[in-house]
Structure formats: structure tokens, C-alpha cells
């Protein structure tokens, strides 16, 4: 048992999203809960897939499940469901009325011709919009 493992009530809230949609085929050697706990372990600890503890399923199995669940949109569905649960428990409308989107500045490894300074975030780096200079004048393209 790891601190990142889901409790019984937490697993009960999301279990249905991880059930097999097609009963045909081989029965899984590892339970979905064990697989999800291993995925959460990787996410919470930041450990590499290959460095999963030996008492967990093989890293390839865990990663393949993670990837297939991502492709099917299961993680997004779980996030929406958990958001509704938390908002309801807080006495709020289960569906958010708006969302905020933030810009991101990315630090660069190599110094190039064009680089700027994001005054709001105090980071050097490139932004999504590029700052260009022509004849001593700056413009954004």
C-alpha cells in the first residue's frame, strides 16, 4: 500500500470508467484498481515508468493501460466526474460556468537571435507570438 493509492470510496467514485467495454478476450492478470494505482503512483511521484516498484505490475503493462485510457478519453471523463462531485459537495453548481486559460512562457535551452523577456512572469524565453525586429523597430508576428 502506497500513500498515492486510492481509498475504497475514491475507487468507487471512478471504478465504472475503467470497466471493460468488451467482455471478449483474455482476462486481465492485474485488476484495474491496481493498474490505476500504479498510474497515479507515477504521476504523483514523478518516477519514470521503468522505475515502478517491483510489487506493481510491469511498467509496460501500466504504461499501455495509461496510453489506451488517454486515447479513449477516460482521464478527461474522470476529471469531469470528479469536478462535479467536488463542486456538489461544496454546495456549488456541478457544472462550472466559465474557465480561465493562461499563457505560458517556455524557457529555451539554446540562445538564438530572437529572445524576449516576459515582464509578468519574469522569465526569459520565447512566447507563442514571436517578437521580430526590423530596421530597429520591434513588431509581433
Look at strands 123-125 and 116-118 and give their pairing. antiparallel
Give residue-wise pLDDT tens across range 61-90: 999 999 999 999 999 999 999 999 999 999
Q: Give the distance, in angstroms, between the CA of residue 24 and the centroid of all CA atoms in the same chain.
A: 30
Quick one: pLDDT band at residue 124, thresholds 50, 70, 90?
low
Q: Which of 66, 10, 15, 80 is nearest to 38 (CA)?
A: 66
Give residue-wise pLDDT tens across range 47-66: 999 999 999 999 999 999 99
Extract the C-alpha cell encoding 28: 486481465
Q: Which of 93, 131, 125, 123 is nearest to 111 (CA)?
A: 125
* Alpha-carbon gap, residue 122 to 64, rounded angstroms: 39
pTM (predicted TM-score)? 0.66
Amino acid at each position: 500500500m502506497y500513500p498515492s493509492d486510492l481509498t475504497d470510496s475514491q475507487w468507487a467514485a471512478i471504478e465504472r470508467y475503467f470497466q471493460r467495454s468488451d467482455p471478449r478476450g483474455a482476462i486481465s492478470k492485474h485488476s484495474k484498481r491496481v493498474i490505476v494505482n500504479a498510474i497515479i503512483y507515477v504521476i504523483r511521484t514523478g518516477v519514470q515508468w521503468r522505475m515502478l516498484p517491483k510489487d506493481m505490475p510491469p511498467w509496460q503493462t501500466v504504461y499501455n493501460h495509461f496510453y489506451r485510457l488517454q486515447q479513449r478519453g477516460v482521464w478527461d471523463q474522470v476529471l469531469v466526474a470528479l469536478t462535479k462531485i467536488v463542486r456538489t459537495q461544496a454546495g456549488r453548481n456541478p457544472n462550472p460556468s466559465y474557465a480561465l486559460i493562461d499563457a505560458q512562457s517556455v524557457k529555451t535551452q539554446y540562445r538564438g537571435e530572437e529572445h524576449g523577456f516576459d515582464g509578468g512572469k519574469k522569465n526569459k524565453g520565447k512566447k507563442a507570438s514571436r517578437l521580430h525586429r526590423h530596421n530597429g523597430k520591434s513588431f509581433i508576428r
